[in-house]
Amino acid sequence: MKLRLMLWLLGLLLKRARRRHAGFRERLRDRPLAWGIATEDLRIARHYRLTAERVQSASGLPVDLDLELRFRDPDTALAVLRHPSPRAFRDGLIDGRLRLVGDTRDLERLQGLLAFLR
């Protein structure tokens, strides 16, 4: 339940960052980003489509995403997403608690966008 709420709130925070920060919109102007977060068993999943004009958020994981972050369990996802630093993502990848489906360059773009949420 906590993870579902956190992912829903993440959508609201992304929408707020798009409205407030020109740098956020500028990073998405040339190339939009579609990404999602899920547990490995896909019981909890949410995806986000970010463009300079709009941020969309919905449940589930469609097949056309640029990047997927799949966590071993909800507790691991909560721990990493509470403090989304490059080190937290790297440690999760090394430990096997996080699986990345997509390009690592998209993960770097995502980390740059998440910095605007603070």
Q: Kindly give the pairing relationship between strand 67-71 and strand 98-102.
A: antiparallel
Task: Domain of residue 90: give its range.
Answer: 2-117
Number of domains in the chain: 1
Strand partners, 67: 35, 102
Listed residue (31, 38, 10) closest to 116, CA to CA = 10
Tell me the per-residue pLDDT of 45-96, one tens digit each, with 9 for 90 and over.
999 999 999 999 999 999 999 999 999 999 999 988 888 788 888 899 999 9
Supply the pLDDT for residue 118.
Answer: 78
Q: What gap in Å lies between CA 58 and CA 68, rounded to an integer?
A: 14
pLDDT of 19 > 80? The answer is yes
CATH for 106: 3.30.1050.10
Mean pLDDT of all residues in the chain?
93
Cβ atoms of 25 and 36 within 8 Å: the answer is no
Supply the pLDDT for residue 60.
Answer: 95
DSSP code per residue over 49-99: EE-SS-EEEEES--TT-SEEEEESSHHHHHHHHHS--HHHHHHHHHHTSEE
What's the pLDDT band for 9 if we cut at 50, 70, 90? very high
